[in-house]
Amino acid sequence: MNTFGTAFRVSIFGESHGPSVGVVIDGCPAGLSFWREELMADLSRRKGLSPGTTKRKETDEPEILSGIHKGYTTGFPIVLYTANRDVRSGDYEMFSSVPRPGHADYTAGFKYKGFADMRGGGHFSGRLTWGLVTAGYFAKKILSPAIITAKLVEAGGEEDIDAAIKKAMETNDTIGGVVECLVRNVPKGVGEPIFGSVESAIGQIAFGIPAVNGVEFGAGFASSRSYGSLNNDPFVDARGKTSTNNAGGINGGITNGNDMIVRVSVKPAASTGVTQKTFDKEKGEMTELRVGGRHDACIAKRIPVILESAVAIALADLLMLDRGINGVRDQR
């Protein structure tokens, strides 16, 4: 499905080479300020425009259809979109019959029986994250004074990110990476056990980001190699502050007031210039494919602001649900 959330609902629409991509945001409170310059700052981070990212150049300028009046949200559904202009659909024509290994070309062709518009990756493209970042802009305002930041901490298994990307570009290949998100001033008591947990919500939306293939919180998988006495976070005061943060700010699916730490694994982009084996559906034979065109050598480089937005959307939805059920909590 293309919709996330219950109280703060976000629906993504469009295709990479269609007329536009956009977002519908339902449940956003009235009275939040909208500054185009603030949103454009986040959208510019999403584009990358640096070595290792796509050379596709879109303005990403948002067009408002509803939900914003005189610079403030109205409380009614917000609809924003941006036009797709810098498209080169010819680069993708062959993938309907010759699918890229590791890409959604094959599964989309099977599921939608060839009717889906897969130019530029269609609805599976990173282009659709424009809507996530746009919705995240409003979610961050709901969460204020919480501060959400994310950064690429490694690429291709290396901490020297620029060197790793340079090597990938020199070999005409692609690499993945790890992106870490930190949330400060997190309200305590947000989330529910089991299926309503903070981890469940963030995991669901994080896996909606193209190329994300793993999510961990706090110490994550490293905790499986530890002891309970070392992995537990000792309390240092009665307000729940801890001396370590292996839990990543969450216990029992509920925020504990400490900083929240989320990391995602981002796989290498499937569109690589290295020759790979695939098949030609029209000819009925195996073949080889070398992908050209404008593609990211390290798609992970553009993920930080997208992950910030995804985490903000999930937390805003949980916070609004919690306030609706339990009222505003005393944070003592």
Report the number of distinct structural domains present in the chain.
1
What's the chain look like in SS3? CCEECCCCEEEEEECCCCCEEEEEEECCCCCCECCHHHHHHHHHHHHCCCCCCCCCCCCCCCEEEECEECCEECCCCEEEEEECCCCCHHHHHHHHCCCCCCCCHHHHHHHCCCCCCCHHHHHHCHHHHHHHHHHHHHHHHHHCCCEEEEEEEEECCECCHHHHHHHHHHCCCCCCEEEEEEEECCCCCCCCCHHHCHHHHHHHHHCCCCCEEEEEECCHHHHHHCCHHHHCCCECCCCCCECCCCCCCEECCEECCCCEEEEEEECCCCCCCCCEEEEECCCCEEEEECCCCCCCCCHHHHHHHHHHHHHHHHHHHHHHHHHHHHCCCCCC
Per-residue confidence (pLDDT) for residue 327, from 0 to 100: 53
Per-residue confidence (pLDDT) for residue 209, from 0 to 100: 96
Under the banding of pLDDT at 50, 70 and 90, the label for residue 89 is: confident
- Identify whether 332 is part of a domain: no
The answer to whether residue 49 scores a pLDDT higher than 90 is no
* 319: containing domain: 3-326
Per-residue confidence (pLDDT) for residue 51, from 0 to 100: 79
- Identify whether 270 is part of a domain: yes
The answer to whether residue 234 scores a pLDDT higher than 60 is yes
131-150 mean pLDDT: 97
The answer to whether residue 54 scores a pLDDT higher than 90 is no
232-246 mean pLDDT: 97
Per-residue confidence (pLDDT) for residue 313, from 0 to 100: 98
- Identify whether 27 is part of a domain: yes
- Identify whether 179 is part of a domain: yes
Under the banding of pLDDT at 50, 70 and 90, the label for residue 94 is: confident
The answer to whether residue 325 scores a pLDDT higher than 70 is no
- Identify whether 331 is part of a domain: no
Under the banding of pLDDT at 50, 70 and 90, the label for residue 244 is: very high
- Identify whether 237 is part of a domain: yes
Under the banding of pLDDT at 50, 70 and 90, the label for residue 92 is: confident
- Identify whether 47 is part of a domain: yes
The answer to whether residue 329 scores a pLDDT higher than 70 is no
The answer to whether residue 131 scores a pLDDT higher than 90 is yes
CATH number of the domain encompassing residue 104 = 3.60.150.10
Q: Residues 55-66: pLDDT tens digits?
A: 778 899 999 999
Q: Residues 167-201: pLDDT tens digits?
A: 999 999 999 999 999 999 999 999 999 999 999 99
